[in-house]
Chains A and B, each alone.
Chain A
Amino acid sequence: MTESVDQFHARITSDTADVARIRKTFEAFLAVHGFDAKNTGEIGLVLNEALANVIRHAYEGMPDQPIEITASADSNGVSIEIRDWGKGIVPIIVDEHQKDPHKPGGLGLPCMKKMMTSLAFIAQPDGMLLKLHRLK
């Protein structure tokens, strides 16, 4: 017996104006694959935060650089890969309990870590591959 697996693929540029559009498209993909509103919202936010990190840190705000997003969803969950060709520096994820809540910034990665089942930054010779997985 084979299980149905569906794929999502998008290649965008590092323009902040594209983030909301791709997030909404991805949330629609998740909804079609049986994710409820809460899970869809959380995973959509993770994608938003991951893209924001690429734009801000890997590409230092340059708006015309490539980002590739691939994902596959099945009855167990969703796996997402985000590839960039930026600086390729693996970020240090500060545990949310160590972060001073009164200092702005630095929220994205701890939130991503909290909302996903697994998260791994894999440095590439020419950039970074971020692998994310979330069980249903």
Chain B
Amino acid sequence: MPELKTTLDIVPSARHEGDALIIAIRGEIDLHVSPELRTEILSLLQKTDAKKMIFNLSDVPYMDSSAIAVLVEALQRLRKVGGKVILIGLQPRVKGLLEIARLNSIFVIVEDEAEALKA
């Protein structure tokens, strides 16, 4: 499980497992930090040939639409190579936003990492 170096507090860890890149995100993500998050995620994506990005959001109590846009952009890039984005550990407010934005169907949403790796 090679660890990748991350540069932001809000991205405490990233690692490879098989064809998956597993990224943990932490904290409330709004316009104040989403531009940095975008840069970090796109940078991690460039360093890998992963077909699957798994975002562990269990430590994210809140996201706004700017954060969701970062996830959509990651998905957009991965779809070009037949990949997908999987979200795990959704807290109620994050889940609610995805439902309101009708984006819960474009991501694969599962409970935990084990399920995500099988998806």
Contact = CB atoms under 8 A, between A and B. Distances in A.
Interface string B44-83: 0000000000000000000011101110110110010000
B18 interface: no
B5 interface: no
Contacts of B30: 16, 19-20, 23, 48, 52
Interface residues of A, number: 26
Given A49-B64, A96-B102, A111-B101, A42 B72 contact: no
B68 to A, nearest CB: 6
B102 A101 contact: yes
Contacts of B119: none
A56 B64 contact: no
B32 A16 contact: yes
B65 A111 contact: yes
B65 A42 contact: no
Interface of A: 16-17, 19-20, 23, 38, 41-42, 45, 48-49, 52, 55-56, 96, 101-105, 107-108, 110-111, 114-115
24 contacts: A16-B31, A17-B32, A20-B30, A38-B96, A41-B93, A41-B96, A45-B64, A45-B97, A48-B30, A48-B31, A49-B64, A52-B31, A52-B65, A52-B66, A96-B101, A102-B72, A103-B72, A103-B76, A104-B72, A105-B69, A105-B72, A107-B68, A107-B103, A111-B100
